[in-house]
Amino acid sequence: MTVSFEPGADVHSPDINEIMHTLSPTVTREVIGAQAGRLVMLHAAALANPRTGAAAVLVAPSGTGKTTAAMTLGRTLAYLSDETAGITEGGDVLAYRKPLSVIESPLFKTQRAPSEMGLITEANAGRLAALYILERDHEHQGFPVVVALDTIDALAELAPQVSFLGKFDRPLQRLADLLHRAGGAKRVTYRDAEELAPLLARDLGHLTS
């Protein structure tokens, strides 16, 4: 992949902000393409308990709260990703610590390094322990509402959020196995990301021994 201020490169613009805006998703697409058929790659934020390694995957479509959740929760939990959770056949959630895309201008998202945002970046992987399908609702009142999903329904909800699902020989069996490892999927309706902290603490274990 080539990057330049001049036309002709894969990623190019006279504006460095536009280059960064384009570069990060371009790299992500390349990475996802390279791992197709090997990792289950969920459109999700991922965080892990730095003490136990138990990891939570927070699935959500673009623009519905993954980055906000990662930035809010990644100060106490280990930040693994705010975009793509790559999960091995054995249930390891691999870190993909891409820069965080933050809306600071009307034109481009600004790319911020995780460490610059005060996130914990030591862990390279976690063990899948919980899987949430996030539904952020600005009108929601009170505690987050958590609903456990049947495997069948969870498969239907997760499939559109998996990159290259069709590359697996038995795509549904692979996803069902992942759900089994996570103890099933839970749909969480919430308003603010900090409300998710107690839920993750319960499912991932205490941060101190």
Partner 1 sequence: MRVRRGDVRDAVYEDGRAAVYVDDQVIVLSEMATVILDTVQDNGTARLDDITQVVLDEFGPPPRPGDAAEMTRNQVLDLIAHGVLVDDDPIVATAPTQRSTEALKDALRHLRSSDHTRWQIPEDVTPGEFLASGRQHHVTSLVAHHIDRLVLPSDLESALRMTTTRTDASVRLLAGELGRALDALDRAGVRALAIKGLALSAQAYGDSTVRGAGDLDLVVPPADVATAHKALVEAGWRHDPAHPIPGSSWAWRHALRTGYELTLESDTSVVDLHWHLSPMKSTCPSFDDLWKRREVLNLGHREVSTLSRYDALAHSAAHSAKDEWRWMRSLVDVHALASDSRTWHADRPLRHDELVTLGLSVLALGRPDCAPPVVDHAVRLAQPYWDDSTALHLHTLQTHVSPATPGTTLIRTLRGSWRSRSAITEVPRVLSRSLLPTWLTVDEPSTTVLVAAPRVMARRIRLMIGRLARSRGGPQRL
Tell me the closest approach of the beta carbon of residue 41 to partner 1, in angstroms.
15
The helix (run of H) or strand (run of E) holding residue 101 is strand 100-103
- Residue 152 engages partner 1 in binding (rule: CB under 8 A): yes
- Residue 165 engages partner 1 in binding (rule: CB under 8 A): yes
In contact, 151 and 173? CB cutoff 8 Å: no
Instruction: Determine the residue type at 74.
Output: G
Query: How many of the chain's residues bind partner 1 (CB under 8 A)?
Result: 15
Interface residues for partner 1 in 175-194 (CB under 8 A)? Answer: 176
Nearer to partner 1, 1 or 142 (CB): 1
DSSP character for 188?
A: E
Binding segment toward partner 1, per CB under 8 A, in 93-101, 111-119, 123-131, 171-179: 171-179
Interface residues for partner 1 in 61-120 (CB under 8 A)? Answer: 107
Burial call 89-98: b when 16+ CB within 10 Å, e when fewer: eebbbbbbbb
Q: What's phi and psi for 103, nearest 5 deg?
A: -80, 105
| The two three-digit tokens of residue 148, written as one number | 């456990």
Q: Any idea how long the chain is?
A: 209
- Residue 151 engages partner 1 in binding (rule: CB under 8 A): yes
Interface residues for partner 1 in 127-146 (CB under 8 A)? Answer: none
Nearer to partner 1, 108 or 132 (CB): 108
The helix (run of H) or strand (run of E) holding residue 131 is strand 125-136
Residues in touch with partner 1 (CB under 8 A): 107, 150-153, 155-156, 159, 165-166, 170-173, 176
